Amino acid sequence: MTTHPTEARQTGLRPAGFARQAPDLPPDMRTRLAAFAQRSPWALSFVAAFLIFVATTTFTAGVGAGQIAATAATFAAFYVIAGIGQMFVITMGPGNVDLSIPSTIALAGAVAMKVMAGSDAMIPVGLAAALGTGIAVGCFNYALIRLLSIPPIIATLSGSFIVQSTAISYGRGLNIKPPPAFANFATGNIAGVPLIAIATVLVCLVMTVVLHRTVFGRSVTAIGQNTRAAKLAGIRVDFVRFATYVLSATLAALCGALLAGFSGGASLNMGEEYLLASIAVVVIGGTSVSGGFSNVAGLWGAALFLYLLVTMLNTFGVGSGPRLILTGLIIIAAITLAGNRKAGRG
């Protein structure tokens, strides 16, 4: 006997020839999700960070989840500060990258601590000295690029050796603790949320406005999309490039000063991990390696992903050697996948 489809729905029976089908999303929702993933690749970094956080806290049965989240937000903030400047540089197109960020962090941290000399009254002066150091490094980097016609990757790498040598000469034997108020800001929190993370969010908001709502930010994007067209449109390409490298070094200097305050003093190797991290957070965060497209919000997702990845491997008891190998492979895979996005040309 053949059962009518209407009767089958009423009786719970399936007519012959009708296979069980898995529930599916409506076509319009699938289209919207696909469009969102295409427009916002940075969202994947937040998803990855969340999944890693869940895996870590599940392994620990929820013990220390709040501390892990707070610590991740703190260290992610430092990655983001250094990454913003790198993002502007990479947005200008292939070949543009700032490899002097680690040495700038070390030198600016030493300058800030020495000028502050442990006095709360000298905090503004010390921060100004650190930012001035960053401006000087940025000018030096661009002088190598422009005046000597050296490719940016070579110029900033060469400049980093000079900056690092200056940091070694200036900071040798330097053992000055940060002023109490500065240290309290760098390590403090409000309702469990690190102050440094709150301040970095405000910096990100400002940089988002600069990127999307100012002539400078739009010029950076235009240069990354098509340098020749940008010149024909009247954009002062050389000046924009100069300002971008200065901005990158200045933000690296700010990161160095804050990192010294957080760490209880400056050290010559405190910027080492920011060479790979500053590039990784930019690419994983959704910025196109071919230039012309960038995203500030994605830096946070990528920074949280990088820190939580190391935390998860430590929690799982992975040794230092295998941990470094796994971390490197995962970062390479993430950068490769994220780098597949190509900026539009037009």
Chain segment 204-262, per-residue pLDDT in tens: 999 999 999 999 999 999 999 999 999 999 999 999 999 999 999 999 999 999 999 99
pLDDT over 60 (residue 8): no
pLDDT band at 13 (very low <50, low <70, confident <90, very high): very low
Please report, for the chain, how many H helices and E strands are present, in that order.
15, 2
Interval 72-85 mean pLDDT: 94
pLDDT over 70 (residue 21): no
Q: Domain 43-338 carries which CATH code?
A: 1.10.3470
pLDDT band at 283 (very low <50, low <70, confident <90, very high): confident
Q: Where are the domains of the chain?
A: 43-338
Distance CA 258, CA 47 (A): 28
pLDDT over 80 (residue 61): yes
Q: What are the pLDDT digits (tens) for 30-56?
A: 566 555 555 566 678 888 889 999 999
Place of tokens 């959704």: 286
The beta-strand segments (E) located in the chain are: 189-190, 193-194
Distance CA 245, CA 154 (A): 14
Element (H, E) at 158: helix 152-171
pLDDT band at 345 (very low <50, low <70, confident <90, very high): very low
Per-chain mean pLDDT for the chain: 84
pLDDT the model gives residue 250: 96
Identify which of 184, 203, 172 has the alpha carbon closest to the alpha carbon of residue 262.
184
Q: How far is CA 40 from CA 44, 71, 286, in A?
A: 8, 26, 7
The pTM for the full model equals: 0.84
Q: How far is CA 278 from CA 31, 80, 342, in A?
A: 33, 8, 20
Distance CA 223, CA 231 (A): 8
Q: Which of 11-25, 118-132, 314-328 has the lowest mean pLDDT?
A: 11-25
